[in-house]
Amino acid sequence: MNEDWFKMNVPMKLKKLLDNIDKQFKSNTGKNIFFDGIQDSLKFIPEAVNSIEKIGEIDKVSENILIDYITNKALQEFCRINQYYNFNKQAQESLRAIYVDLFSKIKTHNNSVDTISKVHYESLTMWLRETNAFAENIYSTQEENVEPVACSEYSHELQIELLQIDIAQLIEPILDIGCGKQGNMVDYLRNNGLEAFGFDRFAFESSFLTQSDWFEYDFGLNKWGTIISNLGFSNHFQHHHTRNDGDFVRYAKTYMDILNSLKIGGRFHYAPDLPFIEQYLDIGKYAITRKKLGDYTFKSVIVERLL
């Protein structure tokens, strides 16, 4: 969902509520949900309380729009803090249920706003603990704020350089995995007349960008001429490979699904490199080209499917 577009197109009466929700998120930005003093740190701000009081006046459809908006915004904020958080469909549904519960508590007026706020943030902490158990081990209970684990979107120029792309040589169709919200590379390739598509868990949906998780995306078989993923899939695979509780088997299976979705002669361009799995690829079936990238500690890789 493109937030700006969404806000421009919601009914007027919801706009004010959305603005206040945005302010609430802003006030919570960077706060550590595992902090021992969470009760004083994460609180509803007056504007949010004000909006909360109006929730009883809105119809069911508008209420669902608000809940979807908040759920999506919360997911983005969690992933902004730590790009390695992973929220599957079930996790997203249970997060939505937390907001449904919040709205219903607000409407029934049985508890004070402070009590509702306390219970709400406790539910969020529990949800994060259940869905991404590693988080509790990396964030101290003594720190009020957390440092985000950087995750950016890059220009097409930089991606072309990092991924060793020569656009005259690209085989179509092209798929960008973890293309970013805007799909900069997809946009660039399409502007150059190439048939390109992308997906990302936070992509702004269009006829060529899809919002999807790479564990849920259907890559197909013998389908893509070129697949690219800049600091996306392989970066997360590498992260899981180094974690004791990492989901590395699932990543390895998806990596093979990606390679099997290439046409014969098709190529997968990605960075960083994944030497721990690349070494096991059948050299009769795949040709691997690695390139050192200036001062970066990682390499960029092209895997070509030969058979």
Ligand X SMILES: C[S@@+](CC[C@H](N)C(=O)[O-])C[C@H]1O[C@@H](n2cnc3c(N)ncnc32)[C@H](O)[C@@H]1O
Contacts with 179 (C-beta within 8 Å, 6 or more apart), sequence order: 185, 186, 198, 199, 200, 203, 209, 232
Least distance from C-beta 250 to ligand X, angstroms?
10
Residue 117's Cβ-count burial label (10 Å; 0-12, 13-18, 19+) is buried
Least distance from C-beta 137 to ligand X, angstroms?
20
Q: What is the Cα–Cα distance from 51 to 156, expressed in whole angstroms?
A: 41
The neighbour count for residue 101, using CB atoms within 10 Å, is 14
Pick one of 201, 240, 267, 305: the residue that binds ligand X (CB under 6 A): 201
Pick one of 72, 230, 238, 254: the residue that binds ligand X (CB under 6 A): 230
Q: Which stretch binds ligand X (CB under 6 A): 31-39, 61-69, 100-108, 153-161?
A: 153-161
**Binding flag, residue 134, ligand X (CB under 6 A):** no
Contact 82, 34 (CB under 8 A): no
**Binding flag, residue 81, ligand X (CB under 6 A):** no
Least distance from C-beta 17 to ligand X, angstroms?
26
Least distance from C-beta 71 to ligand X, angstroms?
16
Q: Using DSSP bridges, classify how beta strands 286-292 and 262-271 pair: parallel, antiparallel or unpaired.
A: unpaired
Q: What are phi and psi of 247, to 5 degrees?
A: -95, 45
**Binding flag, residue 272, ligand X (CB under 6 A):** no
Helix, strand, or coil (residue 296): coil
**Binding flag, residue 159, ligand X (CB under 6 A):** yes
Taking CB atoms, the residue at the shortest distance from ligand X is: 178
**Binding flag, residue 234, ligand X (CB under 6 A):** no
Least distance from C-beta 102 to ligand X, angstroms?
25
Contact 102, 149 (CB under 8 A): no
Residue 142's Cβ-count burial label (10 Å; 0-12, 13-18, 19+) is exposed
Least distance from C-beta 181 to ligand X, angstroms?
6
Total number of residues that touch ligand X (CB under 6 A)? 19
Pick one of 65, 231, 259, 274: the residue that binds ligand X (CB under 6 A): 231
Residue 32's Cβ-count burial label (10 Å; 0-12, 13-18, 19+) is buried
Least distance from C-beta 233 to ligand X, angstroms?
8
Q: Which stretch binds ligand X (CB under 6 A): 49-57, 92-100, 187-195, 225-233?
A: 225-233
User: Closer to ligand X at the Cβ: 32 or 230?
Assistant: 230
3-state helix, strand, coil in the chain (%, to 5): 50, 15, 35
| Residues contributing to the site for ligand X (CB under 6 A) | 86, 151-154, 159, 178-180, 184, 200-202, 213-214, 230-232, 236
